[in-house]
Amino acid sequence: MNTIKTGLLLGILTGLLMLIGGYFGGKQGVVIAFIFAAVMNFASYWFSDKIVLKMYQASEVSERDYPELYSIVRNLALRAGLPMPKVYVIPSESPNAFATGRDENHAVVAVTDSIMRILNRDELEGVIAHELTHIKDRDILISSVAATLAGAVVMLANMAKWSAIFGFGGRDEEDRGGGIGLIVMAILAPIAAMIIQMAISRSREYLADEGGAHISGKPFGLASALEKLSRASQAIPMDANPSTAHMFIVNPLSARSLANLFSTHPPIEERIARLRKMAGRSQS
């Protein structure tokens, strides 16, 4: 169901792009904005692992450095049918984890050093399995496509805003409301694009929870981990860049009310309830 929802949301985002492009500059405006957004997001996707790992001062570790962590990643990757990803550790007192890399053969699983101090083995396996599901389902690619489309919408909206300020309307200006119509479109379109992006991210988180529970075989472990990580994140919020917040297993900005309002993550309570329900079905 969440997979279908993701496809529908990407379709809506594409439709929004076509709508604002047609309103403002016709096909030519859509093509130009889409090309610029695609180039920016392609570069971000291709180098995303290096950028985000450097941003959080993550260091690659070996089995000798972290034998239990490395063993968990290797065993779960084998169970998931994935190549062994690289393992990185982030120095941070806020426990969290994310996956990155452009495909299965260039994947990275990164955890903060503090996560291993508060989670037991079952919980840590649930977290790692969640991140491996993101890799298996190519969620990084899906996020990049959504960012490309949303970026194009924002660029066209900015073009519309400046056009309205300087008195240039879109096509069929009188029929479409002229400068007022452009201003309304410039305000509402980016908001709509952001909401759709958040909805896509939330759908992928539900799928990664479900996949992680299946791979690890321990839905209760993942549910318990989410509960602990959520409390710890609220007590010790990470100094994270909002543009990368969607990558983490729990929202690193959750202690900030504004970030909570525009969270890319589903409510922790709902995620935990789904996992416990899944565990109940497997035991019946």
pLDDT in tens, 267-283: 999 999 999 998 877 66
H-helix or E-strand spanning residue 72: helix 67-80
Q: What is the DSSP string of 205-227?
A: HHHHHHHHHHHHS-HHHHHHHHH
Q: Model's pTM, two decimal places? A: 0.80
Query: Catalytic: 227?
Result: no
- What's the CA gap between 124 and 72, in Å, rounded? 8
- Specify the 3-state DSSP secondary structure of 86: strand
Note the pLDDT of residue 41.
Answer: 66
pLDDT in tens, 212-222: 999 999 999 99
Note the pLDDT of residue 165.
Answer: 62
H-helix or E-strand spanning residue 59: strand 59-60
- What's the CA gap between 97 and 88, in Å, rounded? 10
Residues of the chain with pLDDT under 70: 1-3, 5-6, 9, 20-27, 29-30, 33, 36-37, 40-41, 44, 148, 160-183, 185-186, 254-262, 282-284
Note the pLDDT of residue 173.
Answer: 47
Note the pLDDT of residue 189.
Answer: 74
- What's the CA gap between 120 and 251, in Å, rounded? 21
Identify the bridge partners of residue 108 per DSSP, sorted by sequence position: 86, 100
For residue 192, the tally of other CB atoms under 10 A from its CB is: 18
Q: How many Cα atoms occupy the beta-carbon half-sphere of 277 within 13 Å?
A: 8
- Write down the catalytic residue from 125, 131, 205, 210: 131
Pick the closest to residue 280 from 225, 215, 213 (CA basis).
Answer: 213
